[in-house]
Structure 1
């Protein structure tokens, strides 16, 4: 990584600093409230990672859920701030997140919008993850939302294992549904529907 860049673990004060950016980068059905993110962070299993220049200027940030039982990571959100986009920093940040959190984890998962053919930002995001040599999980995945599940791709990048076990995939999704989306009442129905499609 460029020596002028550093990754640090953020705290609740940093969360408040990034929240306006976060609010503007993600559609309403995909984002969580400030209070929700705060509650996730205090558990210690949900991390805000900051990508900064040496002058403490924020370049980007990411929210990561860490499953200690499955030894997997879940990239919930990642953002490179608008002035720094298009310079390859997203790929640098993604790879440095894996190094920063440690090689003891076997894979990192991420949800990606299915392009609708109209939104270029959706296509750009999918291309970004493809460049990072991620693979599709063969599942009809849905992000739990208040109005039912929102269809998305589920991808992963191996860290230690090239192929994940079926049980690891199921248990990681279960943890994410229960931990990140504790506020969604119908999540169990969505979870059962999603898991039934795993090939």
Structure 2
């Protein structure tokens, strides 16, 4: 991406949610999405924010990220990140991810997020998922050993739990569990089985030392 296509992060307003939610529906499976009214309530409660990624030259929307902030500030949770279809393959995904790292890198130890498992039954989907995993690893994030379960209306989706370290290449079991537990309570309070999911998977969370992460920094 050349400097003429430079983009900047800015906070989204509530009036921008309808169009943004429509794009979320295009980019993510329905079982991975909150109902729109739940998304609005998360923002209203004060610890969930939407960032828009806009091209500096003309203010065109390039992509976006949705973030949850745990109370202790030790980590941040990246809930969704996406680039609009017409701007994919132009380097904006990496620059958006790096912009988030710069935004939160001074105050937090790192960023946690979930990523889909590879669906081997669908070759085209599997290829996209492999590219996505490769992208996050290139950005310096690594999969942890935790058996992360994304709460859904019908139960849960097993997913990778990824971590992008900002300050040191380690994350304790306690920090992982506290972040996920707090995210569950804040984002999925409307799903009564959320606590059981964490209870059933908590033994899989362990202290992690990140030895092979790439730096993921912009050149």
- Normalised to the residue count of structure 2, the TM-score between the two structures is 0.86
What are the superposed Cα offsets for residues 3-53 of structure 1, whole Å, 9 maximum, x if unpaired?
731110112112222111111111011011211111001122111000001
Contact 2:105 2:167 in 1 (8 A): no
Counterpart residue number, 2:21: 19
What's the C-alpha RMSD, in Å, of the aligned pairs? Answer: 1.5
Distance in 1 between residues matched to 2:52 and 2:17, nearest whole Å: 10
The partner residue of 2:88 within 85, 88, 97 is: 85
1:159 aligns with 2:166: yes
Q: How do 1:1-199 and structure 2 match up within 5 A?
A: 2=3, 4-54=6-56, 55-117=58-120, 118=122, 119=125, 120-199=127-206
* Aligned-pair CA distance for 1:132: 0.8
Verify the 8 A CA contact 2:51 2:66 in the aligned structure 1.
yes
2:190 and 2:101 mapped to 1: Cα distance? 28
Runs of 5+ consecutive residues of structure 1 not aligned to the other structure = none
Please give the TM-score of this superposition, normalised by the length of structure 1: 0.94
Q: Does the 8 Å CA contact 1:70/1:172 hold for their aligned counterparts?
A: no
Number of positions where the alignment pairs a residue of Structure 1 with one of Structure 2: 199
- Structure 2: gaps spanning 5 or more residues: 207-219
d(CA) in 2 for partners of 1:6, 1:134: 22
Decide whether the 8 Å contact of 1:70 with 1:168 is kept in 2: no
Q: How big is the shift at 1:70?
A: 4.4
Q: Cα deviation per residue 1:68-124 (whole Å; 9 max; x = unaligned)?
A: 314211110001000110112111101101212451111101100000122122222
